[in-house]
């Protein structure tokens, strides 16, 4: 009996133990149950709010980028619509040549207008020695003459010719004084005129000299063919050539002198500012010192019929040559001369 009572007590105690909550856990389960719905709702809201914030951020960045693009487009449009502040300098070169300046003059319009209408080419009859010159173009022929004259020994040539003329004059005077000499008409009839004999000798000597330049490789073969000995002979009989010979003998002759001259841009046109500098470069064919002053000369092979054509075409060029020489040497240029091979004469500007 007593055993049964004890067993019953044990069963009741076990039952109470099982029904009793652990210490410190009373009310926790219901509270956790109450918090779970709020926590779940919060967890559900957080991704949504993050998405909204991301969309707003992306939208703001897009707006800022669009505003920046519009601003850049507006500034670019304003720049494109506004005029270039230095438009007057667009046609200004910081370095040019004397030849380009010559083209920029009033004669350019006339020269270019001449080529606007193509005319039927007329081929006139030309002697053989002239036809040989025309194998080359005008510019190349000019280069050939310039090179030949650059190499030409003016001093020794003129000294030799002067000595030959002096001896001829002395011989003629001696013959006339002794009565042994023939009359002038008889001499011309027998031997030809002294001028013709001298011209023939000079021409042969010039041909030999030009051939020597070619054989030595100093003168191109095509240049040798382009240079006419009779035109060169006519030049050597000019007063300019005689003055060049005297200057060469004294060491005062200068050939193919390069130069660079700085001038205010305003001199090229009123539209250009005065404080801008333009460099002009060129090559002076010939200049020499005479009585303490300078003479500048230029050879021209242009096919012209009037001296005025060359004056109008090259006056500006010679003016710049003289200006460059005066700056370079600090000496006054007293004379500017063009020698025309077509006209076989010198033209003083």
Q: Of 237, 261, 278, which residue sits at a domain end?
A: 237
Task: Express each pLDDT in 69-128 by its tens digit.
Answer: 888 878 777 766 655 544 544 454 555 555 555 455 444 444 443 333 333 444 344 454
Say yes or no: 250 and 117 in one domain.
yes
The answer to whether residue 278 scores a pLDDT higher than 70 is yes
Portion of the chain with pLDDT greater than 70, in percent: 52
The reported pLDDT for the residue numbered 118 is 36
Give 220's pLDDT tier (boundaries 50, 70, 90).
very high
Number of other residues whose CB lies within 10 A of the CB of residue 238:
15
Whether 28 maps to a domain, the answer reads: no
8 Å CB contact between 285 and 308: no
Mean pLDDT, the chain, rounded, equals 72
Whether 25 maps to a domain, the answer reads: no
Task: Express each pLDDT in 225-240 by its tens digit.
Answer: 999 899 999 999 999 9
Whether 4 maps to a domain, the answer reads: no
Q: Which domain holds residue 183?
A: 131-237
Whether 306 maps to a domain, the answer reads: yes
Q: Tell me, what CATH number does 243's domain have? A: 3.90.320.10
Task: Express each pLDDT in 290-310 by its tens digit.
Answer: 999 999 999 999 889 999 999
Say yes or no: 115 and 243 in one domain.
yes
Whether 13 maps to a domain, the answer reads: no
Whether 5 maps to a domain, the answer reads: no
Say yes or no: 245 and 286 in one domain.
yes
The reported pLDDT for the residue numbered 257 is 87
Say yes or no: 275 and 137 in one domain.
no
Say yes or no: 101 and 197 in one domain.
no
Domain count, the chain: 3
Say yes or no: 302 and 259 in one domain.
yes
The reported pLDDT for the residue numbered 328 is 86
Q: Of 205, 222, 237, which residue sits at a domain end?
A: 237
Say yes or no: 252 and 292 in one domain.
yes
DSSP secondary structure of 203-236: HHHHHHHHHHHHHTTSS-HHHHHHS-HHHHHHHH
Q: Of 186, 204, 237, which residue sits at a domain end?
A: 237
For 74-168, strand residue ranges (E) read: 95-97
Contacts of 247 (CB under 8 A, 6+ apart): 154, 253, 288, 289, 290
Whether 345 maps to a domain, the answer reads: yes
Say yes or no: 298 and 322 in one domain.
yes
Say yes or no: 305 and 176 in one domain.
no
8 Å CB contact between 225 and 132: yes
The answer to whether residue 334 scores a pLDDT higher than 90 is yes
């Amino acid at each position: 009996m007593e055993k049964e009572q004890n067993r019953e007590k044990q069963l009741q105690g076990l039952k109470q133990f099982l029904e009793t909550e652990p210490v410190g856990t009373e009310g926790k389960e219901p509270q956790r149950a109450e918090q779970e719905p709020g926590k779940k709702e919060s967890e559900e809201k957080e991704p949504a709010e993050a998405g909204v914030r991301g969309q707003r951020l992306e939208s703001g960045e897009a707006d800022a980028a669009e505003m920046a693009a519009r601003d850049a487009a507006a500034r670019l449009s304003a720049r494109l619509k506004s005029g270039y502040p230095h438009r007057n300098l667009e046609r200004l070169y910081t370095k040019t040549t004397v030849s380009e300046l010559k083209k920029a003059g009033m004669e350019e319009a006339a020269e270019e207008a001449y080529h606007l209408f193509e005319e039927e080419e007329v081929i006139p009859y030309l002697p053989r020695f002239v036809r040989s010159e025309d194998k080359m173009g005008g510019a190349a022929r000019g280069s050939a003459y310039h090179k030949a004259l650059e190499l030409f020994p003016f001093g020794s040539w003129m000294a030799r010719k002067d000595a030959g003329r002096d001896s001829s004059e002395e011989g003629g005077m001696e013959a006339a004084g002794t009565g042994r000499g023939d009359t002038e008409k008889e001499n011309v009839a027998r031997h030809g005129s002294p001028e013709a004999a001298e011209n023939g000798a000079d021409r042969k000597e010039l041909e030999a000299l030009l051939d020597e330049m070619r054989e030595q490789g100093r003168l191109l073969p095509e240049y040798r063919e382009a240079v006419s000995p009779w035109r060169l002979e006519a030049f050597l009989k000019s007063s300019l050539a005689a003055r060049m010979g005297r200057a060469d003998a004294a060491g005062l002759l200068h050939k193919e002198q390069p130069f660079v001259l700085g001038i205010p841009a305003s001199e090229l046109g009123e539209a250009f500012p005065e404080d801008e500098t333009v460099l002009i470069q060129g090559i002076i064919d010939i200049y020499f010192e005479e009585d303490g002053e300078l003479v500048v000369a230029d050879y021209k092979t242009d096919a012209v019929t009037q001296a005025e054509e060359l004056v109008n075409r090259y006056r500006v060029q010679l003016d710049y040559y003289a200006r460059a020489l005066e700056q370079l040497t600090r000496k006054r240029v007293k004379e500017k001369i063009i020698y025309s091979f077509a006209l076989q004469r010198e033209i003083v500007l």
